[in-house]
Amino acid sequence: MEYWAKLVELLGPPSHSTRPGAWDALESDLGICFPADYKEFIDSYAPVRLNSHLHFTHPSHLEWDLKKWVFVTLEAYRGLDWVDLTPSEFESAAPRFGAPDGLVPLVESDRGECVFFQPGEAPRMYVYVGSDDDFYRYDMTFSEWLYRYLRGEDMTGPNSSAFIPGPVRFDALPGAEGSRGALWFGPHRSE
């Protein structure tokens, strides 16, 4: 939880409250449990776009439905031909998607990146970068990955820093404006 605390400090206090039961149907239908820190982030801030390019949906929002997005994304990635991936990138010759141990999408960017987690005991994140047509593995929690991404580290492959100076920008996705309105910023940060 060290990185969760750092992430909240970077983002500012949560703007939403947890919606009881929001995750039950999604996790049941997928046959997996999402990482606890990811669920905490989604319940606290989503549906939202961070720094104008990371798009987060929520399992209880009618328009920005995480369940719908996850299933559409899984279907799209299952339909791709992964023959060019080397066996060393995954334990088998090609990535698997969905339960019980395949990759499950968490967030996408408007830069052609999709962040996945792999269910299991050890936290493991994979980022698919469309322009590279490659996956990059990060053995860390979602909170650590997002914190380091927002701090400007290369978290979507080599030389991929997406640092935006100043406070983190939040854009509520259309129809999801909350008590803070459609646009707000996290705390000031010195970089």
Give the residue carrying structure tokens 């400007």.
152
Mean pLDDT score across all residues of the chain: 84
- Angle, vertex CA 138, rays to CA 150 and CA 126, nearest 5: 95
Note the pLDDT tens digit of each residue in 111-145: 889 999 998 888 788 998 887 778 899 999 999 99
Which region holds residue 171: left if phi is over 0, alpha if psi is between -120 and 50, else beta? Answer: beta
**Stretch 161-190: mean pLDDT, rounded?**
77
Residue 9 has a pLDDT of 92
| pLDDT value at 159 more than 90 | no
- Residue 125's CB is within 10 A of a number of other CB atoms, namely 23
Q: What is the pTM of this model?
A: 0.88
Residue 87 has a pLDDT of 44
Of 39-48, 160-169, 173-182, the least confident: 173-182
